[in-house]
Amino acid sequence: MKIAVPTRENLVDEHFGHCEFYTIYTVENGSIVKKETLGSPQGCGCKSNIASDFQNMGVSLMLAGGIGAGAINVLAAHGVEVVRGCSGNVDKVVNDYLSGNLTDSGETCNHHGHHPEGHQHGHSCNH
């Protein structure tokens, strides 16, 4: 299993389409066996080829902060499930997922660009 995490400064980026890079974790028997990075394409994530790149790499899950419905649909069409609402250190988030202590927030960004007042992405993944 491979897990992708949108990353900025070793933290989950709160908007996947604008991250610095993606951290890709290879997981076998519930443990991380490999960690690598994939550069973030130019432009918004949902309009880039990142979903195809993930599919070609064998990524089946993305642990994300904020993400829009369009991006979720594109990723799903390429066999990538998304868990939303994640924040904090990327290694900790993946380990929380592997230990069953992380669930999807259910929140989808329905806007593009700036976040309206009161819309927060800084919460943890509903441990």
Q: Span 116-124, mean pLDDT?
A: 37
Q: 106 pLDDT exceeds 90?
A: no
Residue 43 is predicted with a pLDDT of: 55
Residue 108 is predicted with a pLDDT of: 65
**All domains of the chain, ordered by start, with CATH?**
2-98 (3.30.420.130)
**Per residue in 29-78, pLDDT tens?**
999 999 999 988 765 555 578 899 999 999 999 999 988 888 899 999 99
Give residue 1's pLDDT band: very low, low, confident or very high (50, 70, 90).
very high
Residue 40 is predicted with a pLDDT of: 85
Residue 109 is predicted with a pLDDT of: 61
d(CA 65, CA 12): 6
Which residues in 25-54 are b (16+ Cβ under 10 Å) and which e? Answer: bbbeeeeeeeeeebebeeebbbebebbebb
Residue 115 is predicted with a pLDDT of: 37
